Amino acid sequence: MEFSIKQSSPENQRSACVVLGVFEGGQLSPAAHIFDQASDHQLSRLIARGDMTGKADSTMMLHTLSGVTAERVLLTGLGKPEEFNAKQFLGMLRVTFAALQKTICKDAALYAIAHGMKLTKDLGNLPGNICTPTYLAEQAEKLAQAHKLKVTVLEEKDMEKLGMHSLLSVTHGSRQPAKLITLEYRGGDKKQKPVVLVGKGLTFDSGGISLKPGAEMDEMKYDMCGAASVLGTMQAIAEMSLKLNVVAVIPSSENMPDGAASRPGDIVKSMAGLTIEILNTDAEGRLILCDALTYAARFEPDTVVDIATLTGACVIALGGVASGLFSNQDQLARDLAEAGEYSNDKAWHMPLWDEYQQQLDSNFADMQNIGGRAAGSITAACFLSRFTKDYRWAHLDIAGTAWKSGKEKGATGRPVPLLTQYLINRAAK
Residues numbered 221 to 250 that lie near ligand BES (CB under 6 A) are: 223
Q: Does 285 sit near ligand BES (CB under 6 A)?
A: yes
Residues numbered 191 to 220 that lie near ligand BES (CB under 6 A) are: 205
Number of residues that bind Zn ion (CB under 5 A): 4
Task: Give catalytic status of residue 298 as yes or no.
Answer: no
Q: Does 309 sit near ligand BES (CB under 6 A)?
A: yes
Helix (H, G, I), strand (E, B) or coil at 192: coil
Using CB under 5 A, which of 205, 277, 335, 345 touches Mn ion? Answer: 205
| Residue-wise DSSP of 312-357 | HHHHHHHTTT-EEEEESSHHHHHHHHHHHHHTT--EEE----GGGG
Q: Does 397 sit near Zn ion (CB under 5 A)?
A: no
Using CB under 6 A, which of 137, 313, 317, 367 touches ligand BES? Answer: 313
Closer residue to ligand BES (CB): 342 or 403? 403
Q: Does 36 sit near Mn ion (CB under 5 A)?
A: no
Residue type, 33: H
Q: Does 284 sit near ligand BES (CB under 6 A)?
A: yes
The Cα–Cα gap between 75 and 78 comes to 10
Distances, alpha carbon 48 to alpha carbons 21, 27, 54, 55, in Å:
15, 11, 11, 14
Helix (H, G, I), strand (E, B) or coil at 66: coil
Using CB under 6 A, which of 280, 344, 357, 425 touches ligand BES? Answer: 280
Residues numbered 269 to 288 that lie near Mn ion (CB under 5 A) are: 282, 284
Using CB under 6 A, which of 247, 290, 315, 325 touches ligand BES? Answer: 315
**Those residues with Cβ within 8 angstroms of residue 244's Cβ, 6 or more apart along the chain or in another chain:** 86, 185, 187, 188, 192, 194, 195, 237, 423, 426, 427
Which is catalytic among the residues 212, 269, 392, 404?
212
Question: CA angle, corner 147, sides to 125 and 38, nearest 5?
Answer: 65
Task: Give catalytic status of residue 346 as yes or no.
Answer: no
Closer residue to ligand BES (CB): 36 or 284? 284
Q: How many CB atoms lie within 10 A of CB 371?
A: 23
Q: Does 370 sit near ligand BES (CB under 6 A)?
A: yes
Question: CA angle, corner 413, sides to 135 and 39, nearest 5?
Answer: 100
Closer residue to Zn ion (CB): 206 or 388? 206
Q: Which of 195, 234, 16, 247 is nearest to 113 (CA)?
A: 234
Enumerate the active-site residues.
Answer: 212, 286
Residues lying near ligand BES in the complex (CB under 6 A) are found at 205, 223, 280, 282-285, 309-313, 315, 370, 376, 399
Residues lying near Mn ion in the complex (CB under 5 A) are found at 205, 282, 284
